[in-house]
Structure 1
Amino acid sequence: MRPPHQLSLITEPSFYHGVSEAAYIALLARQEDGGMRQQSFRVALLDKVIQAAPRDRDCYLSQAQFMRPNRRAVNLYSLPLLFCDLDPVSRHHMPPEEWRRAVLMVCKDEGIPPPSLIVYSGRGVHLKWILTTPLPRAALPRWNFAQKKLGERFQHIGSDPQARDASRVLRLEHTVNTKTGQRCEVIWVTDGGDGMPIRYPFDVIFDEVAPLAREELAEERKKRIAGKAGKPPRWHDKPSLKVVKGGRHGLKLINFQELAWHRLEDLRTLATMRAAQVGGPDPLEGQRMLFLFWSLNFMALSHAVKPASFWKEAQALAASLAPGWNYDRSELSTVYHKTKAYFQGEVVDFGGRKLPPLYTPRNATLIERFGITDDEQRKLRTILSQTEARRRDAERKRDMRRKAGAQDRQAYEATAQHRREVARELRAEGLSYRKIAETLGVSVGEAHRLLK
């Protein structure tokens, strides 16, 4: 017969991991021999898996969902919550009640909405803000930014800066922390009014933790664009590069990260399109390292991969490009060392501008390197030629005019032709120009023009 603690009902993950047949989550459990074993399973099987999980040892669950049975950032599917991992700032043990009071006091002092859940991990606590709607993978840079700012607000009471990434696993409710012998338990629930934990729109949390509100960020961007009239000369007129140790990128980094992430998504879309067109056992032969190199560069720029996880992410990405591919790691050594420099805070001083040490190519460079055709560009989001960008801009403006009630040229010509025919019929009946104008709802001058 199973011990009583094995029968405790685990419900906490079901509050944020909704049922999905497309997504996976990962469970890590300590084995009898002391090692850790990871298993991935579809979210739809969540209830069965967590009830079968061992409760008398360390057991962890991924907080994000993934497209494949592998919790690497390259396989990210969605982000259902924001979280913060707190550990005691000293060796002094804090009971759950003290943790709860400390966390809620910080939330009140900092103006942050209280967490949906506070989970005691057996030593520290996990704070979780469940989102109204899970964020798609495209929003990872903004999610990372919010995670960082949340952690900074709780830093003085033990926020762990290394436990903020999308691949993170946190202890599972009702399992034992073998380091302390304490059980992991939910110690606080902020009621959403329906007996369930409260859910927050992502924008609400983001605007609370970001240094500037969204409207102010937009205003700052307008000022930067307006100030580009006095921008420095072109690259061939600038001084040579030099590395500056310990630099910081500031608030502009969030837009920079978003662009890098979207370029990564474009490269994955391009690889999928070409694989479908070519077919065969190795559709990307001759291009695999090109895709792998630049994808890892953009993953690092977007903070989706860090030096500690670089080679594991490289392995997962290589497997998605060509299963079983044994690539040459030496060909990635340059981008790996640049990633290390990037996360150590180094910047490149380039004509008075602070740039990251990783590669930041122009669209024209990527189009040339990958040989991207006009038809392929139409299915991409950010890697576009000036011609494609102008075409999209013209299309957007046409849509805006159409939504505002304006007719396209063909519809306008058809309407004008109809009015001319009606005007002629009325004139043949002997009506005056004024009467024709009143009947058609136009001015007298317009009636004259229709009858010319």
Structure 2
Amino acid sequence: MSDTILAPEGAQAARPGRFSAFDSPLGYRRQPTAVFEPGLADLRTENMRGPSYAAMLHPHDTRGVVVMAYRDTYTKRDGTRGYKTANGGATGDELRRVVDVLEPFSITMNSFRRDPKDPDAHRLSPCKATWNLAGLNACWVDLDYYNRVAWRGRPPEEVAAAVVERCEDLGWPMPSYVLASGQGLLVSWLHTRQSPSALPVWLAMQKRILTEFDDFGPDRGASNPTMAFKLPGVQNEKNSVPARIVWPTTFGDLERYAFDVLRAAVLPYTPQQVAAHRKTQARERAAKAEKRAARKAAGIVVPPPKLTYETFARAVHRDLTRLFERRFRGRPVHRGERDLWLFSLVKAAAWTMTVRELEAEVDRLAPLCGLSKREARGYAKAAVRKAQRAASGRMDPRGGGKVSDPRYKLNPRHLVGDLGVTVAEMKDKDLDLRVLLSDGVKREREAARSQGRRKAAGAKPRDATQAARLALGQRALAKRAAGMTVAAVAAEEGVSVAQVEKAQREARQVAAIGKPAAKAKPGRPRKPSRRTGFDKAAPRPAKTRPENPYGSTGSIDACARGDVGAGAVVASPVEGYDVLVRSIAPHCDDTDARSALTGPAGVIVSDEAYADVPDFLRHLLPGGEA
């Protein structure tokens, strides 16, 4: 097969013959670096097609498996041919050929591991799961801007320009490319390939990108690392508009960034701060473990609550149902959120219902979400199929040789972000959410529960304790004014001396609120110093910036031009000093001291200043006694 399939339309006219633009790793040394070699720099990105796009996302040396979806044909029972969606996989060295043959309509942004037992299994049955990730290649955000009134109906080029301007305002690197998928935009930042160990940092970057582009209608469900998106040239099913790259305009502007550079620009914290935070969390966990061990050693047994994943899923499903009913009140869900709400509710219900009950629940939720039964069953197909696998007793493999329930796991933090649960909804007592809460609301509820436990145990409220201590301090001040000592006051009140002193301090602070500060009393005049003859305690005038900040009566520029001589530049007196020179370094000799007093510009010493100079320094002045 010829390599010319990599070039977009018109490439052969621009560069005849064979070329190997993707025969070596791309963009892994210079940061940022062009993705295509210089010979393709002038080609327009709007003409890019599937093979070139796939090779841009996944370099030639990719060892992982790239998963793509394509339409396969099969023979029906009546003999006619039908079409179905199938998944196929390819490694980096065979990616171009596979894309050219299968003509897929979507491709994953990241790569996945191969099955070590069957090296060829990825071609027909690739495993596209988070635990099976092999490498991270890009960060992205899928913008459904047609769901926002401010951007609805605008051309994709105009929205892409606004996205680029937003990146400039944030100080972020420009996107590697912006793909118009027919209705929305895929904004992608290509970066150097990272191992799955960088997934927590990658997810944090995805979350920050979603937050900054919230007014463009981002699809929060399309931010997980297993997502696949359309290739350029593939038509949209709803409006038959082919996908195309709208920014940048030429191949030479496509760039891949270093992951560390992109992380430093997107995330507001550094890896050192993250490491310090993790150490703090580790110390807190160790302290809690010590407390539990101490309780166990003392014989205090706290029975753990009888909780299972099913009870947790029941609580999540309850919160989702309450939030769904409160937001929409029987009206259909807004466009752009229908599939997300349906999938979230079905995913939680799969842990508490049988398969038949789950299928009936999907049909019940279809009109509430503004979907037909056929559309709802299509969106919930994956969750129902996993529930069927769990009902039959089958388990799915996980990382490290482990197996677990095939049903989707529920993460309240992700649900809060995907559904946009607000703090007002979390604190609404009528809504009474139990699980879909942020960390701040959880801390507030824990503080309220702790206060309730203290009250039930007989502890006095903190406000009452503070008021009693303030009253004690006021009584102690009155008794001290009558002549009693602190010890006598403590004995009379029946408290310790430390408590009386603390109460007095608080009472004084409360009494001083709103009163003007007392003026400092003038100190006793001190005798002049024998060494210098100056009064150390005498108040000195405040330093103010003189009109001539450099203390010169002549112009330095004039001296440089030769208009006036150097001797005409006379230093003016500086405010805040009694004499011209206050001290001389011990290592200065007679010449240094004399130059320090007179200066190179001819310092003038008045008679009054000469009289104030001590006797042992007068011989240093011009005309002084030796």
Of the three residues 213, 233, 257, the one matched with 1:200 is 257
Q: Is 1:317 aligned to 2:397, yes or no? A: yes
What residue is the counterpart of 1:77 in the other structure?
A: 134
Write the mapping of 1:158-169 to structure 2, written as runs, cut at 5 A.
158-169=217-228
1:320, CA displacement in angstroms? 9.4
Of the three residues 405, 411, 423, the one matched with 1:332 is 405
Q: Is 1:145 aligned to 2:201, yes or no? A: no
Tell me, yes or no, if the aligned pair for 2:112 and 2:132 is still in contact at 8 Å. Answer: yes
CA–CA separation in structure 1 for the residues paired with 2:291 and 2:383: 34
How high is the TM-score relative to the length of structure 2? 0.38
Tell me, yes or no, if the aligned pair for 1:104 and 1:114 is still in contact at 8 Å. Answer: yes
Question: Taking CA–CA contacts closer than 8 Å with sequence separation of 6 or more, which of the two structures ends up with the larger relative contact order?
Answer: 1
- Structure 2 counterpart of 1:78, one-letter code: G
1:171, CA displacement in angstroms? 0.4
What residue is the counterpart of 1:65 in the other structure?
A: 111
What residue is the counterpart of 2:188 in the other structure?
A: 128
What residue is the counterpart of 1:107 in the other structure?
A: 167
What residue is the counterpart of 1:233 in the other structure?
A: 291
Q: Is 1:27 aligned to 2:27, yes or no? A: no
In the comparison of the two structures, how many residue pairs are matched? 275
User: Relative to structure 2, which stretch is displaced further, 232-241 or 105-114?
Assistant: 232-241
Tell me, yes or no, if the aligned pair for 1:307 and 1:339 is still in contact at 8 Å. Answer: no
1:65, CA displacement in angstroms? 0.8
SS of equivalent residue, structure 2 residue 172 = coil
1:150, CA displacement in angstroms? 1.4
Pair 96,342 (structure 1): closer, same or farther in 2 beyond 3 Å: closer
What residue is the counterpart of 1:44 in the other structure?
A: 93
Pair 213,342 (structure 1): closer, same or farther in 2 beyond 3 Å: closer
SS of equivalent residue, structure 1 residue 183 = coil
SS of equivalent residue, structure 1 residue 339 = coil
- Structure 2 counterpart of 1:210, one-letter code: L
Tell me, yes or no, if the aligned pair for 2:64 and 2:91 is still in contact at 8 Å. Answer: yes
* Structure 2: gaps of 5 or more residues: 1-7, 11-46, 74-81, 115-121, 320-381, 417-434, 444-626
1:347, CA displacement in angstroms? 8.2
Tell me, yes or no, if the aligned pair for 1:114 and 1:190 is still in contact at 8 Å. Answer: no
Tell me, yes or no, if the aligned pair for 1:94 and 1:123 is still in contact at 8 Å. Answer: no
Of the three residues 171, 183, 197, the one matched with 2:230 is 171
- Structure 1 counterpart of 2:195, one-letter code: P
- Structure 2 counterpart of 1:179, one-letter code: K
Pair 115,321 (structure 1): closer, same or farther in 2 beyond 3 Å: same
1:31, CA displacement in angstroms? 5.3
Of the three residues 213, 218, 224, the one matched with 1:154 is 213
Pair 238,155 (structure 1): closer, same or farther in 2 beyond 3 Å: farther
What residue is the counterpart of 1:392 in the other structure?
A: none
Deviations 1:87-108 (A, max 9, x none): 1224833312122112112212
CA–CA separation in structure 2 for the residues paired with 1:156 and 1:136: 32
SS of equivalent residue, structure 1 residue 15 = helix
SS of equivalent residue, structure 2 residue 252 = coil
CA–CA separation in structure 2 for the residues paired with 1:17 and 1:338: 29
1:151, CA displacement in angstroms? 1.7
CA–CA separation in structure 2 for the residues paired with 1:348 and 1:337: 20
SS of equivalent residue, structure 2 residue 261 = helix
SS of equivalent residue, structure 1 residue 108 = helix
1:184, CA displacement in angstroms? 0.8
SS of equivalent residue, structure 1 residue 234 = helix
- Structure 2 counterpart of 1:24, one-letter code: V
1:343, CA displacement in angstroms? 5.1
Tell me, yes or no, if the aligned pair for 1:63 and 1:80 is still in contact at 8 Å. Answer: yes
Tell me, yes or no, if the aligned pair for 2:148 and 2:216 is still in contact at 8 Å. Answer: no
Q: Is 1:12 aligned to 2:83, yes or no? A: no
Deviations 1:70-123 (A, max 9, x none): 222232111111111111224833312122112112212333221111111111
CA–CA separation in structure 1 for the residues paired with 2:261 and 2:135: 18
Write the mapping of 1:396-415 to structure 2, written as runs, cut at 5 A.
none
What residue is the counterpart of 2:529 in the other structure?
A: none
Question: What's the Cα RMSD here?
Answer: 4.4
What residue is the counterpart of 1:444 in the other structure?
A: none
Pair 310,6 (structure 1): closer, same or farther in 2 beyond 3 Å: farther
* Structure 1: gaps of 5 or more residues: 247-305, 355-452
- Structure 2 counterpart of 1:22, one-letter code: R
Tell me, yes or no, if the aligned pair for 1:115 and 1:190 is still in contact at 8 Å. Answer: no
CA–CA separation in structure 2 for the residues paired with 1:115 and 1:128: 6
Pair 113,238 (structure 1): closer, same or farther in 2 beyond 3 Å: farther
User: Relative to structure 2, which stretch is displaced further, 162-171 or 137-146?
Assistant: 137-146
- Structure 1 counterpart of 2:410, one-letter code: T
SS of equivalent residue, structure 1 residue 36 = strand
Deviations 1:237-267 (A, max 9, x none): 6965598988xxxxxxxxxxxxxxxxxxxxx
1:9, CA displacement in angstroms? 5.0
- Structure 2 counterpart of 1:134, one-letter code: R
Deviations 1:211-248 (A, max 9, x none): 423333344445556778975822656965598988xx
CA–CA separation in structure 1 for the residues paired with 2:66 and 2:286: 49
Percent of aligned positions with the same letter in both sequences?
22
Tell me, yes or no, if the aligned pair for 1:119 and 1:186 is still in contact at 8 Å. Answer: yes
